[in-house]
Amino acid sequence: MNQERMAPSVTQDWSPRMCSSFEEDSNSSCSSLGTSLLSAKASESEDNDPDAEEKLCAVCGDKANGYHFHVLTCEGCKGFFRRSVSKGLTFACPFTRTCDVTKAKRRRCQACRLQKCLDVGMRKDSKCDGVIMTEEALLARRELRVRKKQERLQRVQKVPEVGSLTEDQKQLISILIDAHRKHFDGNFDNFVGCRPYRRIQISNLEYCPPPSAPSLSPKCMSPSFDHGSPSYMDLLPNEQQLTESVLQSESFREVPHFADLSTYMIQQVIKFAKEIPAFRALPIDDQISLLKGATMEVSHIQFNTVFNLETNLWECGRLKLSIEDGAMNGFQRLYLEPLLKFHITFRKLKLHEPEYVLMGGLALFSPDRPGVIEHRIIDEIQEKIAMTLKFYIDYHHPLPDSRFLFAKLLSLLAELRTLNEENTRQMVHIQNLTADAMTPLMKEIFS
């Protein structure tokens, strides 16, 4: 049965709305509210006292659980009185209307029990509602209580999620998104001034001569990456890994163009980082250390947004890149295959733009990069970004998808760190094979 108890805090702030709430819990009138509240407060105070006398029902002597219809009663007598009055029941005593009403005998004579309810002061009227509620109204009220309780529980469960997205964290997301949109050129629209691919004795492909001006048309870049036309991979021998002899051959001198492409991607990450006030506030030595360690990781996170799961291609506008293009520039399968798997797994998570930029922020602000001095400051920044990402996921991804999403992202960051280390080793190896493999900026990053 529904046991209800008066809260002493009600006396702190009384309003007409609370009168209605009090009526729901006790079916008492507002006219005697003050007396009832004081009695309830005293009752609770005594309940907290182990030596206090136990409160008994004024009707049957059973243990009382609160004031009902203006009288301290048990739950049983409260329900009996309510049912009797709401249904308009009348009872006849089979004896002399002097039956004892006790805990053990209260069910023997309903007439005497109802009369005793009236004798001790239980009231049929309710000045707040006019009449005692009917069974239908009572059932509707109980359903309303259950629904409101569920709504309160849902709000309470969401408090850590919504509450943790403070204005500072929302501003952090806004800063990262603005920096990303401003400096990430996923279509390579501004990729100009690069060294073109040298193509010698290759039929059915457009020949791009050396640039006569600092700026090149995108037309000179598109054929080699347009997988709708014959590609270099169609012309390569069965051996997919590029060897020293291939790198040094005159037919496949693509490394300079790839170096310019990589440099452009690095420049985007540098501009992205410098758009973040927390990054600019760090000492210049720490800025350099963070960029040297995280540039390629942030770049991979950015370019995952243009990765096509159906084709396994990075669709950068007119450029369509694959791992085979990496193989043609000297990268080995032991790096390229895990890299492709990473991008497939990452893309399948279907992240939102805020989650992508927060992931980039986590990779950038890593306090364990070599050469970092302000470990504590950078660690605090990374923790703030991580908490923002966690609660953004909890709030914007419904269960069960969000249950392990944050943990998966942290795991992918660790995997990306391993890929970054292997990428550095491969770049150094390729540089040893051909002097055109790195630009000065790349040498600074991969040193």
Q: What is the DSSP letter of 238?
A: S
Instruction: Catalogue all structural domains in the chain, each as residue range(s) with its CATH number.
Output: 8-140 (3.30.50.10), 158-446 (1.10.565.10)
Residue type, 98: T
Residue 143: the pLDDT is: 83
Q: What is the pTM of this model?
A: 0.54
Residue 237: the pLDDT is: 36
pLDDT by 10s per residue, the chain, length 447: 444 443 443 333 434 333 333 333 444 333 333 444 344 444 444 444 444 467 899 999 999 998 888 899 999 999 999 889 888 888 999 888 899 999 999 999 999 999 999 999 998 765 433 345 666 776 777 788 888 888 777 655 443 444 457 888 899 999 999 999 999 998 888 877 666 544 333 233 333 333 332 232 333 333 233 333 333 333 333 333 344 444 444 333 567 778 888 899 999 999 999 999 999 999 999 999 999 999 999 999 999 999 999 999 999 888 888 888 888 888 888 899 999 999 999 999 999 999 999 999 999 999 999 999 999 999 999 999 999 999 898 888 877 767 789 999 999 999 999 999 999 999 888 888 877 788 889 888 887
What tokens appear for 312 in the block?
């396994």
CA separation for the pair 74, 335 (Å, rounded): 76
Q: Would you say how long the chain is, in residues? A: 447
Residue 58: the pLDDT is: 94
State the greatest distance between any 2 C-alpha atoms of the chain, in Å, as a whole number. 123
| Distances, alpha carbon 105 to alpha carbons 65, 82, 109, in Å | 19, 19, 8
Phi, psi for residue 73 in degrees, rounded to 5: -135, 170
Q: CB count, 10 Å around CB of 149? A: 10
- b/e map 315-342, b = 16+ CB within 10 Å: bbbebbbbbbbbbbbbbbeebbeebbeb
What tokens appear for 107 in the block?
């069910």
User: Which of 37, 48, 40 has its CA nearest to residue 11?
Assistant: 37
Q: Which residues contact 74 (CB under 8 A, 6 or more apart)?
A: 57, 59, 60, 62, 63, 64, 65
User: Which of 16, 281, 8, 201 has its CA nearest to residue 127?
Assistant: 16
Torsion of CA 86, 90, 91, 96, to 10 degrees: 120
